[in-house]
């Protein structure tokens, strides 16, 4: 076997065999496959695709390049994954809420990819936090906080870590096969009893159409269930950011406001729906409605906030973060209020353009070596259906310089459409796939 022969097969539209894909995954992990060969592989898969069996084989091959965890806990091990969106900080709400409901949540998360934000980047906006932990540390966090949102260590799906970074800079993010293998190689390595997948659809998602989202949701469910993990997926709306803020520290601030005040709005609602689905899978709720109510209670009674604070402290963050988060989160050098140019109703948003504006502000990476500015982004963003007058606030830009703020302002104004009459709002949950 060699990488050139495997890439040649893919270029011809053929799916390599299980042993070929296992060899290639091992080569990604060991370095035997070069960056050029990995980039060619990613492009070939993106353009030609794999068979259903090839997708499953690639997923398990990437998982098996590292450790597969096992657990001895007194409750179910649960996990959730989002396919990526803007203003999506659900994990920071859902993981501690599930822990407060009696579950354990070892959530291996990712960094920003393309125009979407990464949960690990959001966490690392908190001073002192490091998401790189040993397996022993992860197990201690399970016992103390019941949840841990961490990065994949060198021992967890190392092939995915390598391929993930290459996809981000080679325009090969939008591949059903590699998205499935990337998500599930890490998720299945954590050995959850049940998994819920949040597959986004809309202008801020990778999947722009119902058919694309349904195909990905079904691919993920089929592959995970075939591996023995009870899995379902919800297709949820991403035609506007979930939170009214985009950017790492700004999204953490939204999470803390919800946990220390009253959790409401789309971000809280989707967290409860996803959590309710998981609690049913785990036998901790009789049905989805009861499960959602339990998650909502944890978000509002302080128990989720306590679990999140314990998790942040265990990751090296401030011990008093729950009480003094405003003092700890970094800000930006320039804060600019952007006004609407006309009166009317907010009828559409280009979520991808908004996400890319935050990346260009420094809130994400254009290349792997870029350093993230944790305080930049957009806050106070208007919502779909909202009525505005000329000169009302469209949003606030948080930037490192006036030039960067100018760029973001132009992108923001172009990304938000205002019409004479409101359009019908899309549902938050479009479909359930099992």
Cα 233 from Cα 253, distance rounded (Å): 28
Residues marked as catalytic? 79-82, 119, 167, 182, 186-187
Cα 240 from Cα 150, distance rounded (Å): 27
- Based on DSSP, count helices (H) and strands (E) in the chain, helices before strands: 17, 12
> Residue 286 half-sphere exposure, CB side, CA atoms within 13 Å?
1
Q: How many residues are listed for the chain in this entry?
A: 434
Identify the helix (H) or strand (E) that includes residue 96: helix 90-100
Burial (Cβ within 10 Å: 0-12, 13-18, ≥19) of residue 33: buried
Under 8 Å CB-to-CB from 417, ≥6 apart: which residues?
A: 346, 347, 348, 349
- How many CB atoms sit inside 10 A of residue 431's CB? 15
Torsion of CA 139, 143, 147, 148, to 10 degrees: -30
Among the listed residues 93, 375, 344, 366, the one whose alpha carbon sits nearest the alpha carbon of residue 243: 93
Angle between helices 3-11 and 35-48 (to 10 degrees): 20
DSSP string, 1-45: --HHHHHHHHHTTPPPPHHHHHHHHHHHHHS-S-HHHHHHHHHHH
**Dihedral (CA of 329, 128, 168, 45) sign:** negative
Instruction: Determine how β-strand 344-349 pairs with β-strand 416-419.
Output: antiparallel
Cα 114 from Cα 179, distance rounded (Å): 13
> Residue 366 half-sphere exposure, CB side, CA atoms within 13 Å?
8
Long-range contacts of 358-362 (CB under 8 A, 24+ apart): 358/86, 358/117, 358/246, 358/247, 358/408, 359/112, 359/115, 360/404, 360/407, 360/408, 360/411, 361/247, 361/397, 361/398, 361/399, 361/400, 361/404, 361/407, 361/408, 362/400, 362/404
């Amino acid at each position: 076997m060699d990488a050139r022969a495997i890439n040649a097969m893919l270029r011809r539209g053929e799916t390599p065999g299980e042993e070929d894909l296992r060899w290639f995954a091992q080569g990604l992990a060991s370095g035997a496959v070069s960056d050029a060969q990995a980039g060619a592989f990613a492009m070939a898969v993106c353009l030609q695709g794999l068979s259903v069996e090839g997708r499953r084989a690639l997923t398990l091959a990437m998982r098996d390049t590292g450790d597969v965890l096992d657990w001895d806990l007194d409750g179910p091990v649960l996990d959730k994954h989002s396919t990526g969106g803007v203003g999506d900080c659900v994990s920071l709400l859902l993981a501690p809420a599930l822990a407060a409901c009696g579950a354990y949540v070892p959530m291996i998360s990712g960094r920003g990819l393309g125009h979407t934000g990464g949960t690990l980047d959001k966490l690392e906006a908190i001073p002192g936090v490091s998401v790189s932990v040993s397996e022993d540390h992860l197990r201690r966090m399970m016992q103390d906080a019941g949840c841990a949102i961490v990065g994949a260590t060198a021992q967890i799906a190392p092939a995915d870590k390598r391929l993930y970074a290459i996809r981000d800079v080679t325009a090969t993010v939008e591949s059903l096969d590699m998205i499935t293998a990337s998500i599930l190689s890490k998720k299945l390595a954590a050995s959850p009893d049940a998994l819920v997948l949040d597959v986004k659809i809309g202008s801020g998602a990778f999947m722009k159409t119902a058919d694309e989202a349904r195909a990905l949701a079904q691919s993920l469910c089929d592959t995970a269930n075939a591996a023995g993990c009870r899995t379902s997926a919800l297709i949820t709306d991403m035609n506007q950011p979930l939170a009214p803020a985009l950017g790492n520290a700004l999204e953490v601030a939204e999470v803390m406001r919800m946990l220390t005040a009253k959790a409401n709005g789309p971000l809280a609602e989707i967290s409860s729906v996803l959590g309710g689905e998981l609690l049913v899978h785990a036998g901790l709720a009789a049905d989805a409605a009861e499960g959602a109510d339990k998650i909502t209670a944890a978000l509002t009674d302080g128990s989720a906030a306590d679990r999140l604070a314990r998790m942040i402290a265990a990751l090296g963050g401030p011990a008093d973060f729950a009480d003094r988060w405003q003092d700890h989160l970094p800000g930006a050098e320039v804060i600019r209020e952007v006004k609407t140019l006309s009166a009317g109703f907010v009828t559409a948003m280009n979520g991808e353009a908004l996400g890319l504006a935050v990346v260009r502000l420094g809130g994400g990476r254009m290349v792997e070596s870029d350093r993230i500015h944790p305080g930049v982004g957009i806050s106070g963003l208007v919502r779909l259906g909202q009525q505005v007058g000329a000169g009302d606030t469209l949003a606030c830009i948080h930037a490192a310089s006036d030039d960067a703020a100018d760029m973001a302002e132009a992108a923001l104004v172009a990304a938000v459409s205002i019409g004479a009459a409101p359009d019908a709002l899309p549902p938050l949950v479009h479909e359930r796939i099992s």
